[in-house]
Amino acid sequence: MIGQSIPKLDAQALVTGKPVYTDDLAAYHHALIVKILRSPHAHARIRSIDKSHAEKIPGVACILTHEDVPHCRYTNSGESYPEPCPHDRFLLEPVVRYVGDEVAIVAAESEKAAARALELIRVDYEILPAVLDFTNAENNPVLVHAPNEGVFMPDDVGLDCAHNVVSRHKVQKGDLSSALSSSDRVVTGEFFTPPQSHCMMETHRSFCFPDEFGRLTFWTSTQSPFHTRRQTAAALGLPYNRIRVMKPRVGGAFGGKNITVCEPYVGIVTLKTGRPAKMVLTRKETFTATASRHEMRFRITLGASADGTLKAVQVDCLNNTGAYGEDGPAVTMVSAGNMLPMHNRTDAIEFTGTTVYTNLLPGGAMRGYGAAQSTFAIECMMDELADACGIDPIAFRLKNCAKEGDTGGILTTPIRSSSLLRCIARGREMIGWNEKYPVQQLSETRLRAVGMAAATHGSGVQNIGQAAVSIRLEEDGTYLMRSGATDLGTGSDTILTQIAAQVLNCPVSRINTRTADTDGPYDTGAFASCTTYVTGNAVIKAAESFKNRLFTWAGKRMACPPDTLVLLEDRVAMQNDPSRFMELSGIGMATMIGDNAMLEATETYLCTDAPNPFAAGFAEIDLDLETGKIDLHQFVLVVDCGKVINPALARIQAEGGVVQSIGYALYEQPVRDQKGRLITDSFMQYKIPTRLDVRNIRVAFEESSEPTGPFGAKSLGELVIHTPAPAIANALFHATGIKLHELPMTPEKVYRALCARGLNKYPRRVAQEGMH
Contact residues for another protein (CB under 8 A)? 5, 7-8, 10-19, 21, 24, 27, 198-203, 249-252, 254, 282-284, 488-491, 633-634, 646, 648-649, 651-653, 655-660, 682-684, 688-692, 694-698
Nearest approach, Cβ of 5 to another protein (angstroms)?
7
Nearest approach, Cβ of 24 to another protein (angstroms)?
4
CB nearer to another protein: pick between 251 and 525? 251
Nearest approach, Cβ of 499 to another protein (angstroms)?
17
Nearest approach, Cβ of 639 to another protein (angstroms)?
14
CB nearer to another protein: pick between 20 and 171? 20
Nearest approach, Cβ of 552 to another protein (angstroms)?
38
Helix (H) or strand (E) holding 383: helix 371-389
Nearest approach, Cβ of 27 to another protein (angstroms)?
6
CB nearer to another protein: pick between 283 and 580? 283
CB nearer to another protein: pick between 134 and 618? 618
CA distances from 494 to 105, 213, 536, 667 (A): 39, 33, 11, 33
Nearest approach, Cβ of 110 to another protein (angstroms)?
10
Nearest approach, Cβ of 704 to another protein (angstroms)?
23
Nearest approach, Cβ of 281 to another protein (angstroms)?
10
Nearest approach, Cβ of 223 to another protein (angstroms)?
12
CB nearer to another protein: pick between 123 and 452? 452
CB nearer to another protein: pick between 512 and 634? 634
Tell me how far apart the alpha carbons of residues 693 and 155 are, in angstroms, rounded to a whole number.
Answer: 43
CB nearer to another protein: pick between 691 and 772? 691
Judge whether 215 and 410 are in contact, CB under 8 Å. no
- The percent helix, strand, coil of the chain (3-state, each to 5) is 30, 25, 45
Q: Residue 678 gets which letter from DSSP?
A: B
Indicate the angle between helix axes 371-389 and 393-400, nearest 10 degrees: 110
CB nearer to another protein: pick between 16 and 148? 16
With 0-12 CB in 10 A as exposed, 13-18 as middle and 19+ as buried, what is 67? exposed
The full DSSP string for 427-453 is HHHHHTHHHHSSEEEEETTEEEEEEEE
CB nearer to another protein: pick between 60 and 200? 200
- Per DSSP, the three-state class of 122 is strand
Tell me how far apart the alpha carbons of residues 171 and 279 are, in angstroms, rounded to a whole number.
Answer: 42
Judge whether 33 and 533 are in contact, CB under 8 Å. no
Tell me how far apart the alpha carbons of residues 527 and 461 are, in angstroms, rounded to a whole number.
Answer: 9
Tell me how far apart the alpha carbons of residues 204 and 221 are, in angstroms, rounded to a whole number.
Answer: 7
Tell me how far apart the alpha carbons of residues 591 and 153 are, in angstroms, rounded to a whole number.
Answer: 48
Judge whether 682 and 284 are in contact, CB under 8 Å. yes
CB nearer to another protein: pick between 180 and 727? 727
Nearest approach, Cβ of 115 to another protein (angstroms)?
12
Judge whether 360 and 322 are in contact, CB under 8 Å. yes
The full DSSP string for 198-254 is ---SSPPEEEEEE-TTS-EEEEE--S-HHHHHHHHHHHHT--GGGEEEE--B-S--T
Tell me how far apart the alpha carbons of residues 585 and 574 are, in angstroms, rounded to a whole number.
Answer: 17
Tell me how far apart the alpha carbons of residues 85 and 394 are, in angstroms, rounded to a whole number.
Answer: 39
Nearest approach, Cβ of 642 to another protein (angstroms)?
19
The full DSSP string for 514-582 is EE-BTTS--B--S-TT-IIIIIHHHHHHHHHHHHHHHHHHHHHHHTS-GGGEEE-SSEEEETTEEEEEE
CB nearer to another protein: pick between 3 and 414? 3
CB nearer to another protein: pick between 341 and 525? 525
CB nearer to another protein: pick between 19 and 578? 19
Assign residue 405 a region (left: φ > 0; alpha: ψ between -120 and 50; beta: otherwise).
left
CB nearer to another protein: pick between 548 and 690? 690
Tell me how far apart the alpha carbons of residues 350 and 336 are, in angstroms, rounded to a whole number.
Answer: 10
Q: Give Cβ neighbours of residue 83 (< 8 Å, ≥ 6 apart).
A: 75, 77, 153, 154, 155, 330
Q: Give Cβ neighbours of residue 390 (< 8 Å, ≥ 6 apart).
A: none
CB nearer to another protein: pick between 430 and 560? 430
Residue (of 247, 290, 273) closest to 36 by Cα position: 290
Cα torsion 532, 538, 541, 542: sign: negative
Nearest approach, Cβ of 369 to another protein (angstroms)?
17
Nearest approach, Cβ of 334 to another protein (angstroms)?
22
Q: Give Cβ neighbours of residue 684 (< 8 Å, ≥ 6 apart).
A: none
- Per DSSP, the three-state class of 729 is helix
Nearest approach, Cβ of 659 to another protein (angstroms)?
3
Helix (H) or strand (E) holding 648: helix 647-662
CB nearer to another protein: pick between 121 and 658? 658
Residue (of 267, 279, 277, 270) closest to 204 by Cα position: 279
CB nearer to another protein: pick between 411 and 694? 694
Nearest approach, Cβ of 293 to another protein (angstroms)?
14
End-to-end CA gap in the chain = 65
Nearest approach, Cβ of 662 to another protein (angstroms)?
8
Tell me how far apart the alpha carbons of residues 261 and 94 are, in angstroms, rounded to a whole number.
Answer: 19
CB nearer to another protein: pick between 346 and 653? 653
CA distances from 692 to 24, 119, 196, 620, 624 (A): 31, 39, 21, 17, 17
CA 636 to chain centre: 22
Query: Residue 617's beta-bridge partner residues?
Result: 453, 637
Nearest approach, Cβ of 284 to another protein (angstroms)?
6
